[in-house]
Every structure is written in C-alpha cells, then in structure tokens.
Amino acid sequence: MKQLAMLIFVVMGGMALALEAAILGPLGERIGKLSASLSIFLIGILVFSIAMVIQRRSYILKLAKLPPWLLSGGLVGFAYTIVLVVATPLVGVGATMVGILCGQITASLAIDHFGILGTKKRKVDSYRIIALGLILAALGLIY
Amino acid sequence: MLDSLAIFTFPLLLLGGSAIAAQSAINGALSLKTDLVTTAWLANVIAAIVLFFLVIFFEPPQTETMFTVPIWQLSGALFGCFSMAAIVVAVPKIGTAATIVAIITGQIVMGLLVDHFGWFGNPQILLGGKRLAAVGLLAAALYFIYLSNTRKIKS
C-alpha cells in the first residue's frame, strides 16, 4: 500500500511539474527564458534554506565527504536542457518530447535493472515489459 | 515522418532523457546519505550557478526582471520544489522506472486538464478519446510497474 501511496504522490509531482512549465512560459516571455529558469532555482534555494533552518538540521558539511558522483544530480540534468534547446528547432516539439520520453523510460528501466547509481536492483520482468509496451502505445496515441 | 534529421537527432534525445532519469536516481541516492532538504538544496544551488553564468553570457538585456513581475508568476518555483521533493523521496522507495512513469503520467494528466479548460491562455482542446485512452494506458503501465515492484521473490 505504501507503494501505491507513493505512486500517487509522484503523479501529483508530475502534475506540479506541468503546472510549473505552464507558469514558466509566460514568465520567460517577460523576463527572458534563462532568467526565468534562474529565478526558479533561486527561489528553490530560498525554500530549502528555510526548511533547513526550520528543521534545525543540515547535511551540507557532509556533502564534502561524499563521492563526487553523488553530487552531480544538478549537472546531469543540464544535458537535458541543452538537448531540448538544440533539438526542438530541428525536429519540432512533438518529436523532441517522444525522443526524450523514450530516453527517460529506457534509461530508468536500465538503472533499475542493474541497480546502478545507488538504486535497488529491480530486474526487468514480464510486468515491466508489459508496462513498457503500454507506455509506447500511450506515446503513439499522444503523438 | 522520420527524415534523416530526426534519425540523427534521436540518439541525442535519448541521451537527454537518460540524463533526467540519471539525475532522479542520483538525487534519490544522495537523499539516503543526507536528507531530502539538503539534496534538493544542493540540486537548486548547482542549477542556479550554471544558469547564473548562462544568463550573464547569453541572455540579452531585458526590460523586466524577476523582481518586477507580479508575484504569482514566480509561483512556478514552488510547484517545482514540490515536484523535486516527490521525486527525491520516491526513487529509493519505488525505483527510478516507477518514478519516471508516474511523473510522465502526472504531466500528461495536467496537460489534458490545462487544455480542456483552456487555462493560461491556451486554446481550449476538449478531452478527446485519444488522449484519455493514452492516460488510461499510462495508468495501466503504472499498475504493472507496481506489480513488478511488489511481487514476491520466488526462492
């Protein structure tokens, strides 16, 4: 049941992500696309800094002692932003989204399967293959 | 609709999508060694630093800034924070694939709602059979990943 609750929670996270994108668009028109993105992360720093103060605990000092790959989460995501900016004018929004979604899904299945990047090993089984098929069908319907 | 350009760009797009999956996994792992707040904080710091340089070098001068727009226009950041928190908490519990598929499902559901009601000045596109069916398929896919995660390991 905890799995189910978590899934629903993440679906809500996805909805929030879409809302963010919808609000970000007009903001980018007004203050510039890069500035708009920067404002998002500046506010994010504010929010989580406040959270650190409220919970009176922070692991910032521990960060320096961890292996560097664990700290690269923010950077890896930039490959995405750059690809988006480069590819959309070339092949259009629809094809770009399909390509990126395919990349997300296959990579996440592989990450789970091999248990890399610190995740628990979850091998590809028939359930996941069915899920993949359903997703591809859904993508086909949308695009 | 596949032309030579698309075939060339496709590996690039796969790489971009992989980056998203990788970032989710890495941040999930980091939250286990630290906590959610520190992880999200760091991700925002790194992103802000990179974007800061991008803005300085590539953004043409603008007439408005984040401080001149009405506050509601900055609320997107709060949704982003919520979304990031959800991903970071979820990956260690349900794995990367389940998280990614759930995020995509949520994005599409919200996209459908925005289109259906014509929010944010978007043209009103009423819910159609095709896109509803797609959401249904995604929900089914989520269910199968849930089954996969919760199946008993045969010894």
pLDDT class of A76 with cuts at 50, 70, 90: confident
Q: What is the mean pLDDT of residues B40-60?
A: 94
What are the residues whose beta carbons fall under 8 Å from the beta carbon of B48, sequence distance 6 or more? Answer: A38, A41, A42, A44, A45
Q: Determine contact, residues B131/B112, Cβ cutoff 8 Å.
A: yes
Q: Which domain holds residue B94?
A: 16-149
Count up the domains in chain B and report the number. Answer: 1
B115 in contact with A, Cβ within 8 Å: no
Contacts of B141 in chain A (CB under 8 A): 130-132, 134-135, 138
ipTM: 0.89
Instruction: Indicate whether A52 and A94 sit together in one domain.
Output: no
Instruction: Indicate whether A13 and A40 sit together in one domain.
Output: yes
Report pLDDT for A75: 84
Would residue B4 count as lying in a domain? Answer: no
Count up the domains in chain A and report the number. Answer: 2
The whole-chain average pLDDT of chain A stands at 90
Put simply, the answer to whether A13 touches B134 (Cβ < 8 Å) is: no
User: Whole-model pTM?
Assistant: 0.89
Instruction: Indicate whether A30 and A71 sit together in one domain.
Output: no
Would residue B2 count as lying in a domain? Answer: no
pLDDT class of B3 with cuts at 50, 70, 90: low
B69 in contact with A, Cβ within 8 Å: yes
B-contacting residues of A 47-76, CB under 8 Å?
A: 47-49, 51-52, 55, 57-60, 62-63, 66, 69-76
Structure tokens at A71: 């700290």
Put simply, the answer to whether B12 touches A12 (Cβ < 8 Å) is: no
Instruction: Indicate whether A79 and A50 sit together in one domain.
Output: no
* The residue to which tokens 């289109």 are assigned: B115
Instruction: Indicate whether A73 and A51 sit together in one domain.
Output: no
Instruction: Indicate whether A70 and A123 sit together in one domain.
Output: yes
Q: List Cα–Cα distances, A21 to A36, A78, A131, A135, B77, in angstroms.
A: 11, 16, 26, 22, 10
Q: Which domain holds residue A25?
A: 1-58
Report pLDDT for A89: 78
